[in-house]
């Protein structure tokens, strides 16, 4: 079975997220809110987050459509990988991110892959192919949609906790502050489960890329160059978009716990074992 490890993890985390969501829906029902309204509201909220997130990600880096004549080789490269993956070709865009990086957003059949101009300059052809295959794997595995659904559930649970404290208290400023803090902490707690899946998905995308480019070495070299290229340079990529990127340079104790990516050294080690 393809990606059995990912599917087992998704089943485990999905059960936990559903339990959180069911608690919120049950509480809303006791307050007299129809369950159909909770469901419709949740779908609309998730859809809004998906659309807004996609638009903001592209806008924040100033992404522009990748001209087929100027970047003919990259377009041909993507055509070949998409054919192997049985994947509709996504829109290709290029952006000046300040550092070498790339990310995918959208869904399977309506995705966008953004590559930084810095990345194109420093990578060899096979290395760039590995990076693009990694991003196409995210679209193929519906990773962006999965993350948006997880984030939406975390947000809904956090908002529910916040308003519960505010409505059951004395309606003073203390209840507002307490509700706000409790909502943020609850959202972070739920996101821990989502982020654990996100880190594993990076390994899966690396593995898929290695399969489609004939081995993990080119992508391993690309990650090494990307890591070196990011040192001492200011990235124009915000935190929300960095979660989508192939490389996230931020580290630290708290950042490691809340990281969307596993350590790049571990990814390189795994890639070289394929």
CA distances from 223 to 46, 108, 214, 218, 259 (A): 32, 25, 17, 9, 17
pLDDT tens digit sequence for 204-260: 999 999 999 999 999 999 999 999 887 767 777 777 777 788 877 655 445 556 677
pLDDT at residue number 184: 92
pLDDT tens digit sequence for 117-129: 999 999 999 999 9
Coil, helix or strand for 245?
A: strand
Element housing 150 (H / E):
helix 143-168
| Options 64, 73, 84, 135, the catalytic residue | 135
Tell me the domain boundaries of the chain: 4-271
Active site residue 124: no
pLDDT above 90 as % of the chain = 42
pLDDT tens digit sequence for 16-72: 888 888 888 887 888 788 888 888 888 888 888 888 888 988 998 999 999 999 999
57: Cβ–Cβ under 8 A, 6 or more apart, which residues?
103, 105, 114, 240, 241, 244
pLDDT tens digit sequence for 153-197: 899 999 888 888 887 767 678 888 888 899 899 988 988 888 888
Coil, helix or strand for 64?
A: strand
């Amino acid at each position: 079975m393809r990606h059995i490890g990912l599917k087992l993890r998704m089943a485990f985390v999905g059960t936990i997220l559903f339990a959180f969501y069911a608690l919120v829906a049950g509480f809303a029902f006791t307050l007299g809110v129809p369950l159909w309204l909770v469901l419709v509201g949740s779908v609309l909220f998730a859809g809004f987050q998906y659309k807004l997130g996609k638009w903001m990600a592209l806008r924040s880096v100033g992404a522009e459509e990748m001209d087929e004549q100027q970047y003919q080789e990259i377009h041909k490269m993507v055509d070949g990988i998409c054919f192997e993956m049985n994947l509709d070709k996504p829109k290709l865009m290029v952006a000046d991110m300040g550092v070498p990086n790339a990310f995918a957003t959208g869904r399977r059949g309506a995705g966008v892959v953004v590559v930084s101009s810095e990345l194109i300059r420093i990578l060899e052809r096979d290395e760039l192919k590995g990076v693009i295959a990694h991003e196409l794997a995210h679209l193929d595995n519906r990773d962006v949609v999965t993350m948006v659904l997880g984030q939406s559930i975390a947000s809904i649970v956090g908002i529910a906790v916040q308003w519960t404290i505010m409505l059951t208290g004395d309606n003073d400023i203390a209840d507002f502050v307490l509700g706000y803090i409790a909502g943020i902490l609850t959202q972070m707690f739920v996101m821990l489960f989502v982020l654990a899946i996100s880190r594993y998905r990076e390994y899966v995308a690396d593995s898929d890329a290695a399969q489609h480019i004939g081995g993990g070495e080119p992508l391993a070299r690309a990650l090494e160059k990307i890591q070196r290229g990011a040192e001492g340079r200011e990235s124009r990529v915000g935190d929300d978009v960095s979660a989508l990127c192939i490389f996230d340079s931020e580290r630290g104790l708290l950042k490691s716990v809340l990281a969307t990516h596993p350590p790049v050294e571990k990814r390189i080690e795994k890639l070289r074992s394929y």
